[in-house]
Every structure is written in structure tokens, then in C-alpha cells.
Amino acid sequence: MRKSAVRLVVGMLLALAVCSSAWAAGAAVPAQDATTWHVGVGGESPDHALQAQAFLPTKITINEGDMITWTTNPEFVHTVTFLSGGQASPVVAPEGNIVIQPAATAFPSGGPSYDGTGLVNSGLLEGKGKTFSLTFTKAGTYDYVCLLHPGMAGTIAVQAAGSGYPMTQAQIDAQANVELYDKLGQANQDLQSAQLGSKANGNGTTSYTVVNGAGGNQASVLRFLPVNLNVKAGDSVTWLGNDPHEVHTVTFYDPAGKVPDFIVPQPQPSGPPKLIVPHAAPENDTAVDSKDLYNSGLLAPGQSYTFTFPTPGVYTYVCVVHAPQQMFGTITVSAGQPASLPRTATGGSALPLLPLLAGAIVLMLLGILIRRTPMRSVP
């Protein structure tokens, strides 16, 4: 009994010492009351084509002193950024005669706590399972964004310390799942409804319009639609994207070589590397007739770019921004064969028209012989 009483007194003294030192350090909330909450960043289909451009769930309510840990779900790239009413950094910006990704976007700043003021940025969270944590020290409602994906935004409501929580983590996770499947369902609808445009020109050529990424409402389709297109020599193809969350490029290159880079880090004497964007501007001309690099440069939502194809061949292209998500396409240019001729399942040759024609002629001749009608010459 005496031993436990001694332990109790020692424990109380220790607790007092801890509390008073915490008080002296200015910590308003005892550490043992703080809770860590989990929020998802984005989500995708297994082939990376469909992306949820959202924080999941979009809004959560926590208390002063609590921490949030964000974890990325997709093999994609996002940021968690509190602007506190300030301006968002551009994703890419000119610097002299090159284009770079500014350090303010790419690298962490601010943190590890947030009181509703200043810039706090996770930097690029690239790939699945990357985390960023932030402790909220002041009650208020705070909006945050992904710097790379306009429209990808979330809200953290911070209550006074000790308030009751409206949701458990399990309920928050369930809400996140509902929102994720809603966004991916939206992206799938955008994928299914994408249509190739085509217009016959007076000179016998055709102008096609390929969907260069589709999306909206925090959902994106990272694909050229259709992925593979057959055209005739002389036809032109325009790439037009309408996804407010994304920029893309249309970049033709030799598939036997390397896929062109989006960002190339250039080491600096001190500090983080400079992030060069080598294919931000158009390169080469717009008539694709070899395996050289022909590049549209970065295309913002609503911007289009047109290439013509004077020479038969198979031309491979990529969006340099979304190569990791497999945003590739081909244009197959034939000499004279109609662009719409259906292909066999093996994909190699056209339908066997010659045997069909020969069979029809044999049947016609047989009919003539049987009926013994005189043959007439056909003009």
C-alpha cells in the first residue's frame, strides 16, 4: 500500500512537471489529447487512365492540436498546399530562354504545423503511398489545393480543442470511398462518351479530331481517344483536350529510342536541383513524315494542335506529362486504302476481299451457264 501511494505521488509530481513545461513552451493542448487523422490524395483505375482529382474525403472536421496525415493513392503526382489566401505558384514558368518547374511548387515549404497563415506546401508527392503530415494549432476553416491540378481542393474545419468529433476515422474512410467511386465513375463516363471527330475536305483528304484527355468535376481521363487511329496520306489530325485539371502534349518520337522526358533535374551548386521542362514549347514542324521528334508543346485545356501526315507509316506519340500513366497513341498512315476499312482480329491484314470477289464471280458464271442466257458486256 505504501509503495503504491509513493508511486501515485511521484506520478502526480511528474505529470505536474510535464504540464508546466508544456505550458511554459506555449502548447495550449496537452499532447495526449491530440488525434491523428488520415485523408487520401487522389485515386485511379488500375491502368492509371481514370484519375480522381480530389482529396478524399473533400472535407473533414478535427480539433485544435490534431494532426492530419495525407497519403497518396495513385501512381500519379499531387501536392497538398495551404495558400492562406495567397496566389498559387505556376506549374511551369519561363526562366530566361528555358521553361522550369518553380521550386515553390516542387519542394516542401512551411510546416510541420499550421495556424491558418502563410504558405504550407508538401512539394511533389509522386507515386503511391507518399505521405505529408500537418498539425493544426488554431480553430478555423482552411481550404487547401493541389498546385498541379486546378479544381482539386479540400477543406479542413478545425474546432476548439476538446470538441466532440462529428465522424470517426472509419466513417471518414467510408465517405472517402464513396467520393472516390463517384469521381472514377464520372471519369469512366467521360471515357465512354469521347468521340473521334472527322470532316471530309474538298480535296479528298479528311480532318480528324482526337480527344486529348477528357474530364471535369475532379475526374480525368489520361488517354488519347481513340488510342490508335488509321488515316490516309494527306489527312490531318487535331488534338483537342477539354479537361480543366490537366495539361498534355502531343509528342511524336522514335519508339526504338527513349520516351521524351517531362522534367529533367539539373543539379545546382547548393539547394534543390533546377527542374527543366525540355518539351514545353512546340518543336519541329507540323508535317509528321519521319520518326523524328515532333512536339505540340504543353496544351492547356481548350488548346488544340494539328499535325498532317503526308507519308505512309506508323507514327508513335506520347503525352510527355503523362507517360508514367501510359498516355501513348499511334497514327497509322496508309497510302490509298480507305481509313475506315475494318481490320481482322489479328490486326495484320484487311478483310479477305479477293477470295470473296472470286467466289461471287464463280457463282455468277454458274448461274449464267445454268440459265443459258446470252452474255452481255458490262461497261
Helix (H, G, I), strand (E, B) or coil at 184: helix
Residue 154 identity (one-letter amino acid): G
CB of 319 to Cu ion, least distance (A): 3
CB of 347 to Cu ion, least distance (A): 25
- Nearer CB in complex with Cu ion: 120/319: 319
Candidates 30-38, 112-120, 257-265, 318-326: pick the segment binding Cu ion (CB under 5 A).
318-326
Q: How many chain residues bind Cu ion (CB under 5 A)?
A: 5
- Nearer CB in complex with Cu ion: 79/137: 79
CB of 174 to Cu ion, least distance (A): 32
**Residue 303, CA distances (Å) to 83, 99, 176, 189, 250 in order:** 28, 19, 33, 22, 12
Taking CB under 5 A as the criterion, the residue among 327, 329, 331, 333 binding Cu ion is 327
Binding of Cu ion at residue 322 (CB under 5 A)?
A: yes
Binding of Cu ion at residue 149 (CB under 5 A)?
A: no
- Nearer CB in complex with Cu ion: 172/277: 277
- Do the Cβ atoms of 109 and 123 come closer than 8 Å? yes
Closest CA to 204 of 168, 246, 235, 164: 235
Candidates 46-54, 74-82, 95-103, 314-322: pick the segment binding Cu ion (CB under 5 A).
314-322
CB of 284 to Cu ion, least distance (A): 19
What span, in angstroms and rounded, lies between the C-alpha atoms of 176 and 263? Answer: 31
Binding of Cu ion at residue 319 (CB under 5 A)?
A: yes
Angle made by CA atoms 294, 298, 301, in degrees to the nearest 5: 125
The DSSP code sequence of 284-296 is S-SB--SSS-EE-
Residue 73 identity (one-letter amino acid): N
CB of 255 to Cu ion, least distance (A): 17
- Nearer CB in complex with Cu ion: 158/210: 210
Candidates 21-29, 41-49, 158-166, 244-252: pick the segment binding Cu ion (CB under 5 A).
244-252
CB of 298 to Cu ion, least distance (A): 9
Binding of Cu ion at residue 318 (CB under 5 A)?
A: no
Binding of Cu ion at residue 321 (CB under 5 A)?
A: yes
| Residue 274, C-alpha cell as written in the block | 533546377
- Nearer CB in complex with Cu ion: 147/327: 327
- Do the Cβ atoms of 219 and 53 come closer than 8 Å? yes
CB of 184 to Cu ion, least distance (A): 18
- Dmax over Cα atoms in the chain, in whole Å? 129
Binding of Cu ion at residue 223 (CB under 5 A)?
A: no
Backbone angles phi, psi at 87, to 5 degrees: -85, 140
Taking CB under 5 A as the criterion, the residue among 248, 252, 263, 329 binding Cu ion is 248
What span, in angstroms and rounded, lies between the C-alpha atoms of 266 and 167? Answer: 46
> What is the Rg, in whole angstroms, of the alpha carbon atoms belonging to the chain?
30
Name residue 58's beta-bridge partners: none
Residues that bind Cu ion (CB under 5 A): 248, 319, 321-322, 327
